């Protein structure tokens, strides 16, 4: 490792490397789509090449020789591709995907331990094989054009290749010359560039000293199928001149012709007009403005945002306290001052809400960050199992808290791996079942109120309820007499110990680790449900809150203990006469608008001592996630409040039914209920009751 390797610098490198890998992956996916259509976009290939080039250079600086070697080989392969020495094949795309996958594993491994290593032999050998097939470059076409050497000399190898490519396709080469004021050239050049790209391929942009001290000149080389007059009409800018770059006559020793005829929209003498020619060089403000980056993005460590969120949370609590005091003063002392204080707290509340929303928004990232990773998983796992799978992604722009997205990676990966491994049939099986040989997995995200719903759907063999039931009986999870609905059978898959590794190949294997997946999702206050049609496929639906940091909660009390219930799970609250509670199959239920609502007494769920005094009335918080409903029975409802959730930490993460702790602002800490967890425990108990 070089002396560049302070831990902060390494952290920065890994963050950028992760971003580069995501870009590589995205680029390869779009290149894959282009393979289908047979038309490869040179910009895509070049962008991917540049990403590989960047990660190679960076990893070398940090002494990560393995990342550097692999990205170097990938860069060579991409270089040959972009320079036209190799053409893109399915096999090459596969190898590149494997390379990116390996890079991703290396980077994530080194994030935990910088000594992490992988065997790169196989993937390096694959790349090597492809590179050995490299043919000699074709005869040079560049000798055949009448282009000034000052332009030829600044073309990178890639730009030279693009120029050859345009020539070999018989496209017309145009040289576009423009002169702009230094004060505004960036905008004008960007406009010109955009307009030119609509008429053909922009190969190179060469800046040169302008025709006056405060001006800058540009020569842009464009390959196009259009006539020169057509392009100049499309651009329609007075100060832009167009020349056609002619091909030399085929005789050897041709003399370059002198200046080509030029076309201008107007032979403009650049007459100085005051405003255009002032160079904003004086004044510190202008200097600062001139150094502004074009990029409007700031990369921030999520911990800093957590910190900010905590401060906002504390402010919310302080605001609550001030509001209470203001209310009291208003009630006791009725004067102008009290009214003003009350008004001021309302103003504070509005601003604080905005601040809170702003910080939340900063934490939000599109779920595409996660879905993009899944494309790699699908590709790899499908290849490993000899299955043909297409991935259909929808709703990738849906936004979620960055931390939730991170924590969702493993469960989602597990679900997808399971779907391919056990759910999807081999192409032969699918053919004989009258299905398309290529299976389909669709990954669909959408926002519903304060929740995000992620559906993972496959069109595989589905789950056989008979076999799941049989397995549960063998394992002693249910008795053999019991009759279960399809939904109850699916819930069995989430029971710990439902399946064990040595029986993965037996039945569909869908239960492998599903209890872990469920717990991980529950830890995010989320919920997972299964729906499956034998022979048709399986859908896993994950419902998650958009953010975890500050929530509105319903404060309840049971057996003298106070708890917070996240309000976004509460559908309604009821006052309940204990006399209307019925018991069906040892479960307490009530009739609510013509349907049966199962009840869960919070005191019983947490083994709290029951209240001594006779229950005259009880309260119910009806909670719901996805399609399920449950009535949580408590002694009192104390009202709504903003609470800041704090994690219980790893040591207490095993506690079922609790999502975290919250500060009530009056020096009291209460527990926040994990509604998803409580619901699945309670509703599973219905299944358990059959044992």
Partner 1 sequence: MAAKILIAEDSPTMRSLIVSTIAALGDYEIVEAANGFEALRILPREKVDLVITDINMPDINGLELVSFVKNNPNYQNTPLFIISTESSERDREKGMALGADAYLVKPFSPEELQSLIRQYLPQEA
Q: Which residues are catalytic?
A: 53, 75, 418
- The neighbour count for residue 553, using CB atoms within 10 Å, is 25
Q: Which two tokens stand for residue 97?
A: 């995907």
- If we measure between CA atoms, which residue out of 424, 429, 430 comes closest to residue 460? 424
**Kind and range of the H or E element at 243?**
strand 240-245
Q: Which stretch binds partner 1 (CB under 8 A): 60-68, 244-252, 255-263, 610-618?
A: 60-68
Under rule CB under 8 A, residue 185 binds partner 1: yes
Q: Out of 40, 42, 50, 534, point to the residue binding partner 1 (CB under 8 A).
A: 50
How near is the Cβ of 18 to partner 1 at its closest, in Å?
11
Q: In whole angstroms, what is the distance from residue 37 CA to residue 31 CA?
A: 10
Give the range of 29-37, 178-186, 600-608, 650-658 binding partner 1 by CB under 8 A: 178-186
Residue 181 within binding range of partner 1, rule CB under 8 A: no
| C-alpha to C-alpha distances, 97 to 39, 413, 496, 637, 642, nearest whole angstrom | 19, 17, 35, 55, 46
Angle between helices 368-384 and 402-418 (to 10 degrees): 20
Least Cβ distance, residue 298 to partner 1 (angstroms): 11
Q: How far is CA 161 from each of CA 81, 138, 548, rounded to the nearest angstrom?
A: 10, 11, 51
Q: Is 136 in the site for partner 1 (CB under 8 A)?
A: no
Q: Which residues contact 484 (CB under 8 A, 6 or more apart)?
A: 465, 469, 478, 492, 687, 690
CA distance 68 to 57: 7
Q: Quick check: 662 and 669 in contact, CB under 8 A? A: yes
The answer to the question of residue 276 lying near partner 1 (CB under 8 A) is no
Member of 102, 166, 179, 205 binding partner 1 (CB under 8 A): 205
Taking the least distance from each CB to partner 1, the nearer of 18 and 636 is: 18
How many residues lie near partner 1 (CB under 8 A)? 51
Nearest distance from C-beta of residue 370 to partner 1, angstroms: 23
Closest to partner 1 by CB, 149 or 651: 149
Q: Which of 2, 252, 335, 595 binds partner 1 (CB under 8 A)?
A: 2
Minimum CB separation of residue 4 from partner 1 in Å reads: 5
- Contacts of residue 126, Cβ cutoff 8 Å, sequence gap at least 6: 95, 98
**From 10-18, 340-348, 359-367, 576-584, span contacting partner 1 (CB under 8 A):** 10-18
d(CA 476, CA 688): 11
Which region among 200-208, 230-238, 518-526, 544-552 touches partner 1 (by CB under 8 A)? Answer: 200-208
* Structural contact between residues 678 and 630, judged by C-beta atoms closer than 8 angstroms: yes
Q: Does the protein bind partner 1 through residue 72 (CB under 8 A)?
A: yes
Closest CA to 27 of 296, 298, 364, 375: 375
Task: Read off the tokens for 432.
Answer: 């004989």
d(CA 118, CA 103): 10
66 lines the binding site for partner 1 (CB under 8 A): no
Residue 474 interacting with partner 1 (CB under 8 A):
no
Considering only the stretches 68-76, 355-363, 387-395, 635-643, report the one whose residues sit in contact with partner 1 under the rule CB under 8 A.
68-76
- Per DSSP, helices labelled H in 459-513 are 465-474, 486-492
Q: Residue from 253, 294, 480, 579 that binds partner 1 (CB under 8 A)?
A: 294
Dmax (CA) for the chain in angstroms is 111
Residue among 161 and 469 whose Cβ is closer to partner 1: 161
**Contacts (CB under 8 A) with partner 1, residues 295-334:** 295, 299
Smaller CB distance to partner 1: residue 298 or 483? Answer: 298
* Residue 155 binds to partner 1 (criterion: CB under 8 A): yes
* 206 near partner 1, rule: CB under 8 A: yes
Q: Residue 648 interacts with partner 1 (CB under 8 A)?
A: no
Please enumerate in sequence order all residues whose Cβ is within 8 A of that of 353, keeping only pairs 6 or more positions apart, or say none. Answer: none
Q: Which residues bind partner 1 (CB under 8 A)?
A: 2-4, 9, 12-13, 16, 50, 53-54, 56-58, 60-61, 63, 68, 72, 75-76, 79, 150, 153-157, 159, 182, 185-186, 189, 193, 204-209, 214, 216, 279-281, 287, 290-291, 293-295, 299
């Amino acid at each position: 490792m070089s002396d560049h390797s302070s831990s902060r610098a390494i952290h920065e490198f890994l963050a950028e490397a992760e971003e580069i890998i995501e870009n590589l992956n995205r680029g390869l996916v779009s290149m894959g789509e282009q393979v289908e259509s047979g038309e490869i976009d040179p910009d895509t290939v070049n962008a991917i090449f540049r990403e590989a080039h960047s990660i190679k250079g960076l990893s070398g600086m940090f002494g990560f020789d393995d990342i550097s070697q692999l990205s170097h080989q990938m860069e060579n392969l991409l270089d040959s591709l972009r320079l036209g020495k190799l053409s893109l094949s399915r096999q090459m795309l596969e190898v590149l995907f494997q390379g990116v996958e390996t890079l991703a594993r290396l980077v994530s491994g080194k994030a935990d331990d910088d000594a992490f290593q992988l065997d790169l032999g196989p993937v390096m050998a694959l790349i090597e094989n492809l590179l050995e097939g490299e043919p000699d470059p074709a005869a040079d076409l560049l000798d055949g054009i009448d282009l000034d050497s000052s332009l030829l000399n600044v073309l990178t190898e890639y730009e030279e290749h693009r120029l050859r490519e345009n020539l070999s396709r018989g496209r017309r080469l145009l040289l576009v010359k423009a002169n702009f004021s230094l004060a505004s050239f960036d905008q004008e050049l960007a406009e010109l560039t955009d307009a030119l790209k609509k008429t053909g391929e922009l190969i190179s942009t060469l800046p040169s000293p302008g025709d006056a001290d405060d001006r800058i000149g540009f020569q842009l080389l464009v390959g196009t199928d259009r006539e020169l007059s057509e392009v100049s009409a499309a651009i329609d800018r007075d100060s832009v001149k167009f020349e056609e770059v002619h091909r030399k006559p085929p005789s050897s020793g041709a003399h370059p012709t002198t200046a080509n005829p030029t076309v201008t929209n107007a032979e403009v003498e650049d007459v100085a007009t005051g405003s255009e020619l002032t160079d904003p060089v004086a004044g510190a403000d202008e200097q600062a403005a001139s150094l502004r980056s074009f990029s409007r993005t700031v990369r921030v460590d999520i911990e800093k945002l957590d910190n900010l969120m905590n401060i906002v949370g504390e402010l919310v609590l302080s605001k609550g306290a001030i509001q209470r005091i203001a209310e009291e003063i208003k009630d006791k002392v009725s004067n102008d001052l009290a009214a003003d204080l009350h008004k001021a707290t309302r103003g504070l509340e509005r601003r604080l809400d905005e601040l809170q929303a702003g910080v939340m928004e900063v934490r939000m990232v599109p779920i595409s960050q996660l879905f993009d990773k899944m494309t790699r998983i699908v590709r790899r796992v499908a290849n490993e199992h000899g299955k043909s799978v297409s991935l259909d992604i929808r709703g990738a722009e849906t936004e979620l808290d960055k931390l939730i997205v991170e924590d969702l990676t493993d469960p989602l990966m597990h679900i997808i791996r399971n779907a391919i491994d056990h759910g999807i049939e081999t192409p032969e099986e699918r053919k004989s079942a009258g299905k398309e040989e290529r299976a389909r997995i669709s990954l669909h995200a959408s926002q519903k109120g304060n929740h995000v719903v992620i559906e993972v759907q496959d069109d595989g063999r589905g789950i056989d309820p008979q076999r799941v039931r049989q397995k549960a009986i063998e394992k002693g999870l249910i008795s053999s007499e019991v009759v279960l609905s399809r939904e109850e059978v699916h819930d069995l898959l989430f029971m710990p110990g439902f399946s064990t590794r040595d029986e993965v190949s037996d039945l569909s294997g869908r239960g492998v680790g599903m209890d872990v997946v469920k717990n991980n999702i529950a830890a995010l206050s989320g919920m997972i449900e299964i729906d499956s049609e034998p022979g048709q496929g399986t859908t896993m639906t994950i419902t998650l809150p958009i953010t975890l940091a500050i929530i509105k909660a319903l404060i309840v009390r049971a057996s003298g203990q106070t708890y917070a219930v996240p309000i976004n799970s509460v559908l309604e609250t009821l006052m309940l006469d204990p006399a209307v509670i019925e018991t069906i199959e040892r479960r307490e239920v009530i009739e609510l608008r013509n349907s049966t609502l199962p009840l869960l007494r919070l005191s019983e769920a947490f083994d709290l001592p029951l209240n001594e005094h006779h229950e005259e009335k009880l309260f119910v918080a009806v909670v719901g996630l996805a399609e399920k409903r449950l009535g949580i029975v408590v002694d009192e409802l104390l009202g709504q409040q903003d609470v800041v959730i704090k994690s219980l930490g790893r040591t207490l993460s095993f506690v079922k039914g609790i999502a975290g702790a919250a500060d009530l602002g009056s020096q009291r800490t209460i527990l926040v209920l994990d509604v998803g967890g409580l619901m699945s425990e309670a509703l599973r108990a219905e299944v358990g009751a059959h044992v």
